[in-house]
Structure 1
Amino acid sequence: MIEFKLEGEYIPLIQLLKAANLVQTGGEAQIVVTEGEVKYNGTVDYRKRLKVRQGDIVEFRNNKIKVI
C-alpha cells in the first residue's frame, strides 16, 4: 500500500495518480478514470475532478493509495 501525505484540504484524483507515479501524464490519468479502472473507497468512480481527502483509499491496477 502506498501512503500519500496530503498537503492541504484535498487533491484531485488525476493529480493523485500522477503524484503516486501510477500514470505518466494527466491525459493518461483522465483515460483510466473515464474507463472505470479506478476505485475510490471501494467503488468504481468516473469523476475526473474528484476531491480525494485524508482517510480515503484509491485503488488502481493492484495498487492501493491511502491518503494520510
Structure 2
Amino acid sequence: MAMVFAVRGDYIQLDQLLKAASLVSSGGEAHILVDQGQVKVDGQVESRKRAKLRPGQRVECGGETITLTAEE
C-alpha cells in the first residue's frame, strides 16, 4: 500500500516518520526494524535510525511505501 506524507520544515528523521505514519508504535520499535534491515530509503536498505529524510524521497517498510512531499 502507498501513502503520501507531508514533511513540515526541511526534513523528518526516519524513526519519527515511521512512528508518525503509524508503521510502528514506538521509536524503539522503529530502531529495531532499521537494525534488522527492514527499512529502505529510495530502494536502498537504510541503517541510520535518524537519517534525515526530505521531500521527494521514498521509504519502504513492512509492505508499505511512503512518498514524502513538502507541506504546503
Question: Normalization by structure 1: what TM-score?
Answer: 0.98
| Structure 2: distance between partners of 1:14 and 1:2 | 17
1:45 corresponding residue in structure 2: 46
| Structure 1: distance between partners of 2:12 and 2:25 | 17
Task: Give the structure with the higher percent strand.
Answer: 2
| Structure 1: distance between partners of 2:64 and 2:54 | 18
Amino acid at match of 2:18: L
Amino acid at match of 1:40: V
Question: Normalization by structure 2: what TM-score?
Answer: 0.92
| Structure 2: distance between partners of 1:49 and 1:61 | 18
Amino acid at match of 1:26: G
1:2 corresponding residue in structure 2: 3
Identity across the alignment (%): 49
> Is there any run of 5+ residues in structure 1 with no aligned partner, and where?
none
